[in-house]
Amino acid sequence: MRKTIILVPIYKDRLDPLEQYSLDHSLTVLGGRHPLLFIGPEGLDLSAYQARYPGMQYLAFPAENFASIPGYNRLLLSPGFYTRFLSYEYLLILQTDAILLQDELDYWAAQPFDYVGAPWPDGVEILVNAGVFDGPRGKRTRAHVGNGGLSLRRVRKCLSLLQEFGAAVDIFDRTGSSEDLFFSIMGGLSTDFILPNEVMASRFAMELKPSFYFAVNGGQAPMGGHAWWKYEPEFWRQLLPEMPEAVVQCLPERST
């Protein structure tokens, strides 16, 4: 079985400067060592991408899956999505607002985790009240790991989790709720799905409070980050010293 495929979701004809820089930097870091596939809606004008990335491979899905965030969530909660990639052990979701600092994919693919994403420092708590947790068996649970914008997923185990908790998938589908929350919450409730702890996840990727996790990890940079210009962009600038001035000018004036 092949190890890891990288999926880059796109949904518009061209990227903005920060997205373009992020993707170009990530692809340079990866150096063509892993198969890579752009995914997006049917009918998307690919001319700008094809000019910049000659020979790019593109897999189209129904336009509704990229017309809104709920539509995208439903795609990544679809068993059929993961079935397409069963010839790989892992898939890496690399959204265009994510950036890679180093290629550690082989390291992470050698770990026992079935899903890895940046941590949520304060956690996300929900009441699970469906399927085996219906009615009086409802369970309030909190997740601390899961951001899907830059996430590594073991294909077969993600598919199994969707099948294990079909009733929860139905609820997420109806509401259009965050697909990464499903894998974090339901993965934590499964007897056969392994998630890292909060600190380990921060070594893979950071999003919220990156300087906090950087300090906790003794100054060790993660493999990458998601929404890096939204949360503490000045922190990321220190890790990206060769950022072009034109890109710097696009950064927000202050952190969120």
Q: How far is CA 131 from CA 128, 139, 189, 196, 243, in A?
A: 9, 11, 12, 25, 49
Give me the mean pLDDT over the 216-241 stretch. Answer: 95
Q: Is the distance from CB of 148 to CB of 97 less than 8 angstroms?
A: no
Count of domains observed in the chain: 1
Q: Is residue 55 part of a domain?
A: yes
Give me the mean pLDDT over the 180-200 stretch. Answer: 96
The whole model's pTM is what? 0.95
Distance CA 158, CA 118 (A): 17
The half-sphere exposure of 70 on its side-chain side, counting CA atoms within 13 A, is 7
Domain boundaries, position 231: 2-197+204-248
Mean pLDDT of the chain: 95
Structure confidence by residue, pLDDT tens digits, 114-170:
999 999 999 998 888 888 888 888 888 899 998 999 999 999 999 999 999 999 999
**Which CATH number goes with the domain that contains 55?**
3.90.550
Q: Is residue 256 part of a domain?
A: no
Q: Is residue 253 part of a domain?
A: no
Give me the mean pLDDT over the 68-95 stretch. Answer: 97
pLDDT number for residue 1: 63
Q: Is residue 94 part of a domain?
A: yes
Place of tokens 């009441």: 127
Q: Is residue 255 part of a domain?
A: no
**236 has pLDDT over 70:** yes
pLDDT number for residue 190: 96
Helix (H, G, I), strand (E, B) or coil at 77: coil
Q: Which residues contact 241 (CB under 8 A, 6 or more apart)?
A: none
Q: Is residue 65 part of a domain?
A: yes
The torsion defined by the Cα of 177, 22, 222 and 256, in degrees rounded to 10, comes to -60
Confidence of residue 243 (pLDDT cuts 50, 70, 90): very high
Structure confidence by residue, pLDDT tens digits, 16-61:
999 999 999 999 999 999 999 999 999 999 999 999 999 999 999 9
Q: Is residue 254 part of a domain?
A: no
Q: Is residue 129 part of a domain?
A: yes
Helix (H, G, I), strand (E, B) or coil at 89: strand
